[in-house]
Structure formats: C-alpha cells, structure tokens
C-alpha cells in the first residue's frame, strides 16, 4: 500500500512556498505582493488539502532578508495577503516558518530547524506521518533528514536523486487530487 493511501487527517503537511504555492522567480526574490503569483490551481489544491490534513505548515527559506533585498516586515505583509487569498478560496495554512539566514544555519533547509520549531509548537506532529512537498532537492533532503515522506512537485524533471523522492506530481493540485 502506498503511503498516499494511508493519509488521513492525523498526518501533517509541510509545504515549500516558492515553486509550490507561488511561481518561483529564478534569480529573483518575491519581495512584495505585486511579484507574487500563485502556481496554477494552487488555491484549489489548498482548498482540497484543508479537508485532508489537520495541520498544513509552510516552511520556506527566505535569505532575501539577510541580503537586505527585503525586510521581515515586507515578508510578513506578503504572507498576510497570501493567507487572506488562500482563506477566501477556502484553503488554510496553520503556520508559516521561514529562515532568513544564509546557508549553514540550522533553520535553513535542508536542515531540520523549521520542522523542529513546528513540532515544538504542535507536539502532536508525528514525523513518520508527515509529508514535505517541494520542488527542489533541498526539500527532498529535508524530508529525509526528519524521516518524513518526500513529495516532489515539478512540471519538468529536475536533477534530483530518485532515492530522495517518495512520490512525484506535476504540481500541488495533482498531489491534492491523488489523496
């Protein structure tokens, strides 16, 4: 039996943001709302997922803050607008954890700091019944680092070791429909 067939509301869903919920801008940072564009059918996917999981948590690296490209307040404002749009469309995000620091920081993916913080805030999280959904190898490596399931959502085949991926879908909507 596939782990997808075992998913019930007791599972926790960890979502990357850029490239999963919103369009990733190669070489750029989504600095403000005017640059933010939801991935195709992401809002519909989040509505479906809200009915499948008790906890949906975003975990995102945001080193644009450390680089001085944007402030934490800018990011918080962007997230407030994003959350409002998700809620208007009957979706839900329970928490957002972000790491503004550079590579090597214990909270920066693929390190487990953000998931550890979420587990502290939500002690009922069982990492063996958790899924990390992302579009990059570091997301898949994070899943392995915490013994969660790794779901890759990518339209094109990125250069990711197959051994890191438990399931692959074209996008978040296709994943949501599979449950």
pLDDT value, residue 161? 84
pLDDT value, residue 149? 98
The single residue of 8, 16, 76, 94 carrying the catalytic annotation is: 16
CATH number of the domain bearing residue 115: 3.40.50.1000
pLDDT value, residue 160? 84
Could you tell me if 108 and 141 are in contact, meaning their C-beta atoms sit under 8 angstroms apart?
no
Buried b (16+ CB within 10 A) or exposed e, 37-66: ebbebbbbbbbbbbeebbbbbbbbbbbbbe
> Tens-of-pLDDT digits for all 179 residues of the chain?
689 999 999 999 999 999 999 999 988 999 999 999 999 999 999 999 999 999 999 999 999 999 999 999 999 999 999 999 999 999 999 999 999 998 889 999 999 999 999 999 999 999 999 999 999 999 999 999 999 999 999 977 668 888 899 999 999 999 999 99
Taking Cα atoms as reference points, which of 7, 1, 34 lies closest to residue 126?
Answer: 7
Domain that holds residue 12: 3-178
The single residue of 8, 18, 74, 126 carrying the catalytic annotation is: 18
Does residue 74 have an active-site annotation? no
Could you tell me if 54 and 41 are in contact, meaning their C-beta atoms sit under 8 angstroms apart?
no
Does residue 76 have an active-site annotation? no
pLDDT value, residue 82? 98
Could you tell me if 95 and 57 are in contact, meaning their C-beta atoms sit under 8 angstroms apart?
yes
Could you tell me if 11 and 131 are in contact, meaning their C-beta atoms sit under 8 angstroms apart?
yes
Report how many domains make up the chain: 1
């Amino acid at each position: 039996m596939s782990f997808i067939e075992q998913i019930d509301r007791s599972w926790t869903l960890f979502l990357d943001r850029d490239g999963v919920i919103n369009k990733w801008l190669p070489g750029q940072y989504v600095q403000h709302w005017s640059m933010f564009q939801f991935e195709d059918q992401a809002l519909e996917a989040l509505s479906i997922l809200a009915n499948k999981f008790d906890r949906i948590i975003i975990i995102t690296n945001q080193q644009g803050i450390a680089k001085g490209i944007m402030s934490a307040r800018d990011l918080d404002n962007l997230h407030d607008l994003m959350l409002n749009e998700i809620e208007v469309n009957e979706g839900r995000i329970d928490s957002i954890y972000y790491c503004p620091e550079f590579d090597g920081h214990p909270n920066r993916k693929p390190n487990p700091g953000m998931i550890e913080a979420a587990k502290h805030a939500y002690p009922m999280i069982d990492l063996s019944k958790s899924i990390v959904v992302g579009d990059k190898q570091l997301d898949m490596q994070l899943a392995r680092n915490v013994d969660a399931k790794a779901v890759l959502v990518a339209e094109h085949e990125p250069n990711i070791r197959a051994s890191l991926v438990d399931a692959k879908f074209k996008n978040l909507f296709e994943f949501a429909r599979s449950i």
